[in-house]
């Protein structure tokens, strides 16, 4: 699929995702009204507001430096801090669009929604929408921290906290943007000529999937082990503005957290670990199918596909964990699903590495099996 045919769906999806996030952020004001708390409950309204506030131009009272200025945000330093908060949100929304479009363009071009690929394309673009939102939150975080008025105090832990906020609403809005982009891509793909699948030997595809999954397992099984994770968090003390990078390192390197069986029993521990097994199964199966679904199994396409596969595996494991937790949530369904979307920065890091490793392994396996139908250079 040519770039000319793929760019329109990517632009439509980017515009819709940005507009939905803006609308969601502006809707946070409605949750503070008495009618909302009376309808859905105080705890549920507070939890939903926590989801939406990272995308709202109106910060919570007491969270920014201008909140205690006499006269409020109407004048003095309060107005300047509020303007800085608005600048951070402008950067955030622009970054969502800027990150979504190139990734969706690559996915739609290499994974066009025709010849049985439509479910895979839809899932991939959905996952990329979550990644784009996470990257947008990351690049706009310094401005948001500065608007709080204490950016020089424990900057890296604050950065980690800001990056982890607002992820739940991305899980909800990204499917709509993905659906519009994929439907538009299906329309623009008409008359584009043959869009064949890559011919990849089954053994080479399995080898590539295994190698890529091993990279994901390194983060999920080794680095996420409690003792190793604690060593990662305390290994780099740093100093000054870059002190205490442990929370930030953990967020970008660890896909989970686990320890040895405790007092709850081995059966409960194994049930809880089933979510991690599901993540690895999703990643392996996606990497196994991906080379055959792509029109050309290039390194960028494999890397982007591996990132999306890791994010989808992470969401599947979180949903399974919610279903098997058995504790319920006193705050209703918003609090029950509050963990959705966590770990996306680590999924981005591990997914990129897994995709590169899988592409290199695939190319080597195809070369050793003969000259036929190996992945081509980008």
Of the listed ranges 15-24, 41-50, 367-376, the one predicted with least confidence? 367-376
More confident: 268 or 202? 202
Angle 344-321-175 from CA coordinates, rounded to 5°: 50
DSSP 7-41: HHHHHHHHHHHHHHHHHHHHGGGGGGSHHHHHHH-
| Helix (H), strand (E) at residue 194 | none
More confident: 302 or 67? 302
Residue 326 has pLDDT above 80, yes or no: no
Q: What pLDDT is recorded for position 196?
A: 73
> For 129-148, how does the pLDDT look when each residue is reduced to its tens digit (9 = 90+)?
999 999 999 999 999 998 88
More confident: 115 or 231? 231
Residue closest to 170 by CA, chosen among 141, 127, 205: 127
* Residue position matching structure tokens 């979550």: 130
pLDDT above 90: percentage of residues in the chain: 53
pLDDT above 70: percentage of residues in the chain: 85
Q: What pLDDT is recorded for position 114?
A: 87
Residue 26 has pLDDT above 80, yes or no: yes
* Residue position matching structure tokens 């196994």: 288
More confident: 352 or 259? 352
Of the listed ranges 42-46, 66-70, 110-114, 153-157, the one predicted with least confidence? 66-70
Of the listed ranges 164-173, 190-199, 299-308, the one predicted with least confidence? 190-199
Rounded mean pLDDT of the chain? 85
The β-bridge partners of 225 are 258
Cα 115 to Cα 229: distance, rounded to the nearest angstrom: 44
pLDDT (average), residues 260-283: 85
Residue 378 has pLDDT above 50, yes or no: no
More confident: 45 or 101? 101
Q: Which of 190-194, 236-240, 336-340, 367-371 has maximum average pLDDT?
A: 336-340
> For 176-221, how does the pLDDT look when each residue is reduced to its tens digit (9 = 90+)?
999 999 999 999 988 766 677 777 888 999 999 999 999 999 999 9
Q: What pLDDT is recorded for position 278?
A: 96
Q: How confident is the model at residue 227 (pLDDT cuts 50, 70, 90)?
A: very high
């Amino acid at each position: 699929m040519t770039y000319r045919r793929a760019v329109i769906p990517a632009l439509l999806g980017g515009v819709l995702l940005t507009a939905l996030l803006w609308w969601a952020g502006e809707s946070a004001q409605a949750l503070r009204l008495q009618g909302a708390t009376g309808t859905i409950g105080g705890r549920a309204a507070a939890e939903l507001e926590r989801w939406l506030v990272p995308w709202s131009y109106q910060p919570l009272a007491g969270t920014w430096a201008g909140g205690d200025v006499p006269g409020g945000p109407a004048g003095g330093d309060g107005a300047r801090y509020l303007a800085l908060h608005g600048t951070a949100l402008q950067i955030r929304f622009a970054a969502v669009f800027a990150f979504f479009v190139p990734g969706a363009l690559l996915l739609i071009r290499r994974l066009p929604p025709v010849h049985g690929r439509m479910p895979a394309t839809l899932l991939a673009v959905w996952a990329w929408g979550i990644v784009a939102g996470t990257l947008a939150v990351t690049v706009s975080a310094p401005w948001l921290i500065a608007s709080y008025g204490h950016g020089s105090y424990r900057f890296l832990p604050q950065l980690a906290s800001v990056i982890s906020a607002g992820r739940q609403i991305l899980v909800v809005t990204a499917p709509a943007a993905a659906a519009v982009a994929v439907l538009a891509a299906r329309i623009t793909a008409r008359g584009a000529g043959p869009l064949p699948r890559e011919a990849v030997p089954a053994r080479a595809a399995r080898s590539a999937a295994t190698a890529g999954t091993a990279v994901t397992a390194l983060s999920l099984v080794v680095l996420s082990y409690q003792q190793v994770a604690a060593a990662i968090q305390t290994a780099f003390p740093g100093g000054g503005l870059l002190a205490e990078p442990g929370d930030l390192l953990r967020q970008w390197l660890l896909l989970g957290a686990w320890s040895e069986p405790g007092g709850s029993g081995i059966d409960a521990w194994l049930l809880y670990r089933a979510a991690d097994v599901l993540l690895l199964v999703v990643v392996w199966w996606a990497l196994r199918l991906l080379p055959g679904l792509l029109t050309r199994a290039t390194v960028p396409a494999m890397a982007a596909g591996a990132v999306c596969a890791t994010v989808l595996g992470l969401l599947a494991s979180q949903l399974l964990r919610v279903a098997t937790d058995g504790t319920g949530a006193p705050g209703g369904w918003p609090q029950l699903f509050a963990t959705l979307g966590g770990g996306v920065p680590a999924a981005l890091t591990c997914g990129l590495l897994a995709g590169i490793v899988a592409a290199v392994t695939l190319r080597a396996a195809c070369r050793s099996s003969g000259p036929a139908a190996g992945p081509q250079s980008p």
